[in-house]
Structures are given as C-alpha cells and as structure tokens.
Amino acid sequence: MTTSGAPKRPSFKRSSPGKKSRLRTRRVAAGGREGEAEAEAAGTSALARALLPASVGLDAVPPVGRALPRDFFEVDALDLAPRLLGKLLRRDEVVLRITEVEAYRPNDSACHGRFGITARTAPVFGPGGHAYVYLCYGLHMMLNVVADIEGVGAAVLIRSCSPVSGLETIQRRRGQQTEKPILLTGPGKVGQALGLSTDWSNHPLYAPGGLEVLDGPEPESILVGPRVGIEYASPEHVAAPWRFAIAGTPWISAPKNTLRPRY
C-alpha cells in the first residue's frame, strides 16, 4: 500500500501476427476444429514468449490458465502473498504476470485496515478474492487482492508485474513506448496498465470477465524483504519481511538490495 519504484531494463520482442495466421491456417487444413484449437494455443504461447524479456527464459512463460477459486484467497495475507507470485492478472487483452507483492495484515500499523471500516477501506474487510483499489497521492491507482475471510481486514498489494500480452495497450495506458521493466515495476504502474479506477474496488477477482486472477506456475525461488514506503508504521512492522518477489526476474521495483532469498 505504497508507491512505485524504478529498475534495470532488458528488452523483449513483439510477436508476428502474420506468422500466427499462417500457423492457424496450416493446422485447420490438417485437422479441422481440433487443428484450429491447437493452432490458437500455439499462437497464444508464441505471443507470450515474444512479449517476455529474453532474460526470463522460455521455460518461465506462464500459460493463461483458469480463474482461481474463491477459497484460494481466503487465507492469511502472509500465506496468500507468496502464492500470488507467478499468477496472472487479466483485463481484456492485457495479461500480466505477478512478480512482486506485499502483505498487509490485521493489527498491522501499515495496513489501511488500521483506520477501521470507512467508505474507502470497506473492501479490505470484505470477502477474500475481491479487489481493493485506492488512489495514492492523488495520482496512482493501487491494486490490492483482499485476503482472508470477511471481516478480517487484510490484503496483498500487487507491486510489480511482467507483460504477457496486450503490450500496445499497456504502453498506451502508461504513456510510455518502452519494452523495459520500468513499464510495470511499481504498483501505480500496474494499476495504470490495467486501466483501473476506484470503481474496481470490491470486484470479485475469481469471477469470469472484467478483472481476473488466473492460475499460473509457481516460481522456482522467492525473495523476501521489508515493505517499501511505510516509514510511518511501527518499527516492528517497518522491518517485517512481508515483501515477496520472484527471484531472477528484472521485473521488480526498487529498492532491490533489501531483498534476500526466502530460505
């Protein structure tokens, strides 16, 4: 529940629509509807590979999976936060892979739940798996995934992502024609790339359509460290290692030097 940072910058390539079309045509001719479905899957996979930076590696490309069930989110925010790494956020043609998160819990002096239930914070106390979107500094739309059961007051901030599809839409919404991690490393950037407003608060992320959290492969290793920009909180909460990120990806916000291997 903080602001965004800025990091290192590898590059990635766009996909070729012509190549996808030729592939689909060959598959349809060979196998009818089954061939067309296989071609569509191959095209989606190729698009995801083209959009991810080469440094991430082809094995790391996540498939666009099913929407996660509601009970996936109904756990302590500290358990949910690392579980969200590698999962996918989808809105329209934009699909993002979650690469960095922060957990905010009950009785946490950095959590918005500390203010109690207000018009702004009511979604934090709602059912797990709903969105909590708030405006930070009058500029940044911050996306949080509500954790635990209704009434608890906990959430996970989506701090950084990497692009899987919809690059041109992401660039247009961000107002940046770049293919580097600065495009999505920071929670305000994620909210802008998804085109969010506070109207999305309380939206169920497990329901089809709109804004969804989809399944994706778990990362091989995870980094942990203290959360960012919460100097107003109590010392024990400032130091708490409740920030989580995928190890080995450049799509992480600053500061990176406070992150360490989880185990």
First to last CA, the chain: 25
Exposed / middle / buried, residue 104 (Cβ in 10 Å: 0-12, 13-18, 19+): buried
Predicted pLDDT at 1: 58
Query: Taking a C-beta distance cutoff of 8 angstroms, is the pair 46, 15 a contact?
Result: yes
Name residue, tokens 């996970």: 156
Of the listed ranges 2-11, 133-142, 241-250, the one predicted with least confidence: 2-11
DSSP summary character for residue 61: P
Show me where the domains of the chain are located: 17-261
Mean pLDDT (whole number) for 130-142: 90
HSE (side-chain half, CA atoms, 13 Å) at 241:
12
Query: Taking a C-beta distance cutoff of 8 angstroms, is the pair 261, 245 a contact?
Result: no
131-136/211-214 β-pairing: unpaired
C-alpha 196/C-alpha 91 separation (Å) is 9
Please list, in sequence order, all residues whose beta carbon lies within 8 angstroms of the beta carbon of residue 103, skipping any fewer than 6 positions away: 77, 78, 80, 81, 147, 154, 156, 242, 243, 244
CA dihedral 202, 208, 213, 216 (to 10 degrees): 170
Answer CATH for 17-261 from 3.10.300.10, 2.40.30.10, 3.40.50.1950, 3.30.980.10? 3.10.300.10
Average pLDDT score, the chain? 82
Whole-prediction pTM value? Answer: 0.77
- Please name every residue paired with 145 in a beta bridge, in sequence order, or none if there are none: 131, 156
Of the listed ranges 55-69, 140-154, 171-185, the one predicted with least confidence: 55-69
Query: For the stretch 141-172, what's the b/e string if a residue is b when 16 or more beta carbons lie within 10 angstroms of its beta carbon?
Result: bbbbbbbbeeebbbbbbbbbbbbbbbbebbbe
Residue 197, pLDDT above cutoff 70 = yes
Count of Cβ atoms closer than 10 Å to residue 208 Cβ: 8
Predicted pLDDT at 71: 96
C-alpha 36/C-alpha 145 separation (Å) is 36
Predicted pLDDT at 134: 94
Alpha helices in 52-178 (DSSP H): 77-84, 167-174
Report which of 63, 79, 157 is spatially closest to residue 113, judged by C-alpha positions.
Answer: 157
Residue 179, pLDDT above cutoff 60 = yes
pLDDT digits (tens, 9 = 90+) for 39-85: 333 333 333 443 444 333 333 444 567 889 999 999 999 999 999 99
Report which of 80, 55, 197 is spatially closest to residue 139, judged by C-alpha positions.
Answer: 197
